[in-house]
């Protein structure tokens, strides 16, 4: 069989032929509450720009000034010529904000999980992974060569059974999303921490969708539960609430130093650009000094949940700004996404493997600079599209 015989995806071809293929729409304006996509105004309910800071003039100015001072890129690894004073400043301020000893940055959030997990866990160790964790966690587990044991989503009985199945004195890492990126629900962190203490395991939280959303002033999932000191490793991204690109890890200094010197995805990759670093720093400063953005975000998410429930639209119970609308079947999901897009609302259609089979959904997500007027407009369009078959 020729290597390229696999290079066709029947579902994609069917969606294209039916005119309902929903991906790679061209964005022609900034990430904002309303955007121009392919010549038409759309209400943006599909961005992870939770605090609305990608268009903040202060963030933009910080990026421009960084390019003027440092140039467009670092042209090397952090190990060699790729460390700027900006990187050091960002790591110090982020560690202090979240409440950990030390921080290190990666070039992307996906790379952060690859780099952390593959460095921390190895042959003879065990990783316990929630089935709805992000794909980057799964790939980090594969790269580590540790034994990965998946537990049912937020099922603490299943997790405990899995922990009981391995030697008590073995190296064990429980890794979970803080806020699950598709369902929007929050991990059961108090129970996870209790099980980790009982079975001598370490805990890692992927807080990509938690920072800027949960906790005191947006400090994240661990802070939300008052458990920052009990979570061993927290990672996250700069591409969401912090309005840039990159990723990070915070932990005890000895753990961060170990990962710095052993993580291949960190050692052999160029550092984040000056503009990425400066815009992240400015967004972090805004988050620190203007926590009202977090409050506004949660108020708008609650407003939208209430509106969807009042219209009889099924959603998952949570408090976060990620609200999935379940469409179940793949082609129906494509069709509804296209109808919403044509009606003036952009959402993200999500299919397996990002969801379990038969649980396809339209992922809606919200920004702090949306308005209730825009949400009401979107609700009317969503109700009409979802209830029509």
| pLDDT of 75 | 92
Judge whether 42 and 341 are in contact, CB under 8 Å. yes
Residue 199 token pair: 């079975």
Sorted by sequence, the CB contacts under 8 Å of residue 363 that are 6+ apart come out as 46, 182, 322, 324, 347, 348, 349, 350
Q: Is the CATH code 3.50.90.10 the one for domain 57-289?
A: no
**What kind of fold does domain 3-50+291-387 have according to CATH?**
3.90.1150
Distance CA 308, CA 324 (A): 11
Q: CB of 49 within 8 A of CB of 56?
A: no
One pLDDT digit (tens) per residue for the chain, 389 residues: 899 999 998 888 999 999 999 999 999 999 999 999 999 999 999 999 999 999 999 999 999 999 999 999 999 999 999 999 999 999 999 999 999 999 999 999 999 999 999 999 999 999 999 999 999 999 999 999 999 999 999 999 999 999 999 999 999 999 999 999 999 999 999 999 999 999 999 999 999 999 999 999 999 999 999 999 999 999 999 999 999 999 999 999 999 999 999 999 999 999 999 999 999 999 999 999 999 999 999 999 999 999 999 999 989 888 999 999 999 999 999 999 999 999 999 999 999 888 888 889 999 999 999 999 999 999 999 999 998 87
- Predicted confidence at residue 343, as pLDDT, reads 97
Domain ranges of the chain: 3-50+291-387, 57-289
Angle between helices 274-289 and 57-70 in degrees, nearest 10: 150
Q: What's the pLDDT score for residue 353? A: 86
What residues are labeled active site? 181, 209, 240
pLDDT of residue 317: 84
pLDDT 10s digits, 260-318: 999 999 999 999 999 999 999 999 999 999 999 999 999 999 999 999 999 999 898 88
Instruction: Give the model's pLDDT for residue 341.
Output: 97
pLDDT at 132: 94
pLDDT of res. 355? 85
Q: What is the pLDDT of residue 11?
A: 87
- Classify the C-alpha dihedral 172-159-197-100 as positive or negative: positive
């Amino acid at each position: 069989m020729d290597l390229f015989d696999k290079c066709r995806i029947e579902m994609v071809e069917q969606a294209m032929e039916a005119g309902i293929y929903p991906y790679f729409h061209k964005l022609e304006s900034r990430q904002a509450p309303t955007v121009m996509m392919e010549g038409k105004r759309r209400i943006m309910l599909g961005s992870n720009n939770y605090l609305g800071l990608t268009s903040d003039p202060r963030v933009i100015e910080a990026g421009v000034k960084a390019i003027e001072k440092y140039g467009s890129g670092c042209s090397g690894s952090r190990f060699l010529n790729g460390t700027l004073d900006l990187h050091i400043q960002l790591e110090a301020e982020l560690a202090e904000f979240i409440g950990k000893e030390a921080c290190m940055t990666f070039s992307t959030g996906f790379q952060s999980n690859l780099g952390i997990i593959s460095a921390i866990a190895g042959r003879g160790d065990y990783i316990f992974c929630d089935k709805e964790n992000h794909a980057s966690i799964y790939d980090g587990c594969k790269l580590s060569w540790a034994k990965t044991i998946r537990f049912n989503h937020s099922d603490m009985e299943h997790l405990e059974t899995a922990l009981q199945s391995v030697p008590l004195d073995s190296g064990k890492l429980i890794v979970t999303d803080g806020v699950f990126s598709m369902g929007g629900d929050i991990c059961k962190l108090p129970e996870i921490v209790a099980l980790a203490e009982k079975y001598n395991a370490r805990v890692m939280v992927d807080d990509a969708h938690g920072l800027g959303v949960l906790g005191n002033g947006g400090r994240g999932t661990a802070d939300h539960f008052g458990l920052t000191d009990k979570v061993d490793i927290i990672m996250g991204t700069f591409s969401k609430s912090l309005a840039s690109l990159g990723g990070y890890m915070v932990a005890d200094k000895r753990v961060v130093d170990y990962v710095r010197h052993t993580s291949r995805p960190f050692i052999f990759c160029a550092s984040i650009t000056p503009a990425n670093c400066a815009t992240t720093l400015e967004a972090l400063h805004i988050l620190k000094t203007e926590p009202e953005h977090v409050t506004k975000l949660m108020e708008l998410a609650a407003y939208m949940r209430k509106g969807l429930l009042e219209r009889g639209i099924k959603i998952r119970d949570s408090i976060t700004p990620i609200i999935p609308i379940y469409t179940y079947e793949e082609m129906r999901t494509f069709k509804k996404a296209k109808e919403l897009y044509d009606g003036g609302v952009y959402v993200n259609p999500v299919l397996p493997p990002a969801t379990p089979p038969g649980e396809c959904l339209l992922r809606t997500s919200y920004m702090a600079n949306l308005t209730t007027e825009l949400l009401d407009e979107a609700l009317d369009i969503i109700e009409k599209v979802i209830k029509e078959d």
